[in-house]
A and B are shown apart, each in its own frame.
Chain A
Amino acid sequence: MADIVSVLALAHAPGATGWLDKAPRHEQDGIINGYAEMQKRLAATNPDVIVGIANDHLLNFHPANVPDWCVGTSDHWEGPAEWFRDWVNVPHYEVAGNAGLGRTIVRESGKRGFNLAFSDKLLFDDNWSVPLHFLTPRHDVPLVPIHMNCVLPPMPSTQRCYEFGQVLADVVRAWPEKKRVAIMATGGLSHDPGGPKYFGVDEPFDRGFLSLLNEGDPQKVLREITTGKMIAAGDGGTIELLAWFVALGAVGKRKADTAFYVPSVPLRCGMGGVTWDMQSKE
């Protein structure tokens, strides 16, 4: 049986690798040190594999056929996708997958009411390229990527995301491999790619959201952070926090520990990340 040794959630905005020098020094330091802290916390749990959940960004989900989630079922991944390479400014990388775990997630989640798509061909953009660049820079921890629809209505509800996280945690723990698994949600915090708040962030929303996660009361998060509130705080960017609701389902009543938060207008994103101590009691 597998153990979930780490759950984390963090921003993946491309400015962190693409144009960080345009941010003031204190923002640069806060972001670099913040990701370094996340790397340290993840490494301390010594994961054998990372199960990631992140916005697909309309890169793999054709507008005519949009699943809520699509699980990557390949033993090999690479990124960034060609057109996004200069934008993300991350060199080409390869990272192992875990087809067995990916297929298990699809098969077993289906028995629990989650009809997941799957694919052994997924293009990566900033969703994985930025977090992996900072958290596993040698790309030496296999990744099972789960792409999700955060931005093309109808998206899965916050409740549905939370319930998927619960199922995902159960399925991972029941995987008959003695492996240490990390669950990593990427996306957010407030930003608005292509929308009216494109050149801004919503710091009060971000700080309120992180504060709620620190309380360890997922039902309160579900009550207070609605899809409408996320859209109001940044439309198609902030709503990526739906991936964090999946992580929330996996941790239950554990309290999040904020590693960093930097509201960065030059990066056009509220940059931040949290971890949950899976050794702590719910």
Chain B
Amino acid sequence: MGIMDTDRTLPTNTLIFEVRRDRKLVERFANDLEGLMTQYGLSDVEKKALREIDLKTLAGLGLHPYFLPQVSRLFKGTGYNHNESAAARLYASKMLAPGKT
């Protein structure tokens, strides 16, 4: 899965695109994810995957690769994003085979 597999029409792509551009949407992502997902027309499969931070499923649905670690940062914070940061570890735990860094 990579950039060539992106589905531009996937509602989750629009949601993540717009959230990063708007502080109020970042707050809604944290406080009203269900309402936000409904507003953007996510399918039940997308909703379940985003709710559970199931990055592999989101990637398989066509979420752009850039947005996968950005989802992890929306949940775990953006600052000091080194390889051992909570956000990077979340991404790794969801996307990589055990033992891979």
A interface list, Cβ under 8 A from B? 14-15, 18-19, 22, 57-59, 62-64, 66, 81-84, 86-87, 89, 123, 151-153, 192-196, 198-199, 231, 235-236, 239, 265-266, 268
- Hey, which chain A residues are within 8 Å of B1, CB to CB? 195
Distance in Å: Cβ of A242 to nearest Cβ of chain B: 12
- Interface SS of chain B: loop
Chain A residue at smallest Cβ distance from B7 = A63
> How many residue pairs bridge A and B at CB < 8 Å?
108
Other-chain contact of B4, A14, A87, A153 (Cβ < 8 Å): A153
Chain B residue at smallest Cβ distance from A154 = B4
1/0 per position for B73-92, CB-CB distance to A under 8 A?
Answer: 10001111111110000011
Extra 13 A-B pairs, beta carbons < 8 Å, given A59-B20, A193-B66, A198-B95: A18-B80, A18-B82, A22-B83, A59-B21, A62-B14, A63-B13, A63-B14, A89-B79, A195-B1, A195-B65, A235-B65, A236-B66, A239-B3
A15 touches B82 (CB 8 A): yes
Cβ of B26 within 8 Å of any chain A Cβ, yes or no, is yes
Closest 6 CB pairs of A and B: A194-B65, A86-B79, A19-B82, A194-B68, A22-B82, A87-B78
* With known contacts A81-B21, A193-B65, A194-B68, A153–B3 Cβ distance under 8 A: yes
Cβ of B2 within 8 Å of any chain A Cβ, yes or no, is yes
- Hey, which chain B residues are within 8 Å of A152, CB to CB? 3, 6, 8, 64
B interface list, Cβ under 8 A from A? 1-4, 6, 8-9, 13-14, 17, 19-21, 23, 26, 64-70, 73, 77-85, 91-92, 95-96, 100-101
Distance in Å: Cβ of A133 to nearest Cβ of chain B: 16
Write 15 A-B pairs (CB below 8 A) sorted by A numbering.
Answer: A18-B79, A63-B64, A81-B20, A83-B21, A151-B3, A193-B69, A194-B66, A194-B68, A194-B91, A198-B91, A198-B95, A199-B100, A231-B2, A235-B3, A236-B2
